[in-house]
C-alpha cells in the first residue's frame, strides 16, 4: 500500500508538519518568486538543492511513490496499539476476520478504530460544554 493509495481512498492527503504558509512566512522561510519559478521550471530552489546534495542523476528523476512498511509496523512497534484499537471495534467487525486480515486491512481497521475513538472523545467534550 503506497502513501498515495492509503490516503486517497478516504479522501485525505498526507502533509509534512510545519509547512503551512503561515508558518513558513512567519519563520522567514518564504522564498522570493525567482526561487520558486523560472520560466516554465518550477521548484527552482528545491531542484538546485537536490542537485547539490544528491547529485544531478537523482535530482532529475521523476516523482515516485513508495510502499510504507505497514506489515513490519503492525508486527513490531504498532502491534499492541493495533490489537487494542481493533479490539474496540468488537461488535462492528468480526473478531476472527480481523485476526486473519492482511496488513492493509489491519492498518485500515486500526485507523478506523483510532478515528472512531477520536470522534467519540471530541463528541464527549462537546456534550460537556
Q: Is residue 50 part of a domain?
A: yes
Residues 43 and 75 in one domain: no
Q: Is residue 27 part of a domain?
A: yes
Contact by Cβ (8 Å): 109, 101: yes
Residues 81 and 101 in one domain: yes
Q: Which domain holds residue 99?
A: 70-128
Q: Is residue 65 part of a domain?
A: no
Domain count, the chain: 2
| Claim: this prediction has a pTM higher than 0.75 | no
Residue by residue, pLDDT tens for the chain (129 residues) are: 555 555 555 555 565 655 666 666 655 567 777 777 777 777 788 888 889 999 999 888 888 888 999 999 999 999 999 999 999 998 888 888 888 899 999 999 999 999 999 999 999 999 987
Contact by Cβ (8 Å): 88, 113: yes
Residues 77 and 99 in one domain: yes
State the DSSP H helix or E strand holding residue 42, giving kind and residue range, or none if neither.
strand 41-42
Contact by Cβ (8 Å): 86, 98: yes
Amino acid at each position: 500500500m503506497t502513501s498515495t493509495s492509503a490516503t486517497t481512498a478516504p479522501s485525505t492527503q498526507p502533509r509534512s508538519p510545519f509547512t503551512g504558509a503561515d508558518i513558513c512566512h512567519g519563520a522567514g522561510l518564504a522564498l522570493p518568486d525567482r526561487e520558486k519559478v523560472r520560466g516554465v521550471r518550477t521548484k527552482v530552489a528545491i531542484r538546485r538543492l537536490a542537485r547539490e546534495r544528491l547529485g544531478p542523476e537523482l535530482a532529475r528523476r521523476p516523482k515516485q511513490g513508495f510502499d510504507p512498511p505497514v506489515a513490519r509496523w503492525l508486527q513490531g512497534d504498532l502491534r499492541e496499539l493495533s490489537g487494542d484499537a481493533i479490539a474496540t471495534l468488537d461488535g462492528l467487525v468480526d473478531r476472527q476476520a480481523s485476526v486473519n486480515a492482511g496488513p492493509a486491512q489491519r492498518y485500515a481497521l486500526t485507523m478506523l478504530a483510532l478515528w472512531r475513538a477520536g470522534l467519540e472523545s471530541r463528541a464527549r467534550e462537546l456534550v460537556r460544554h
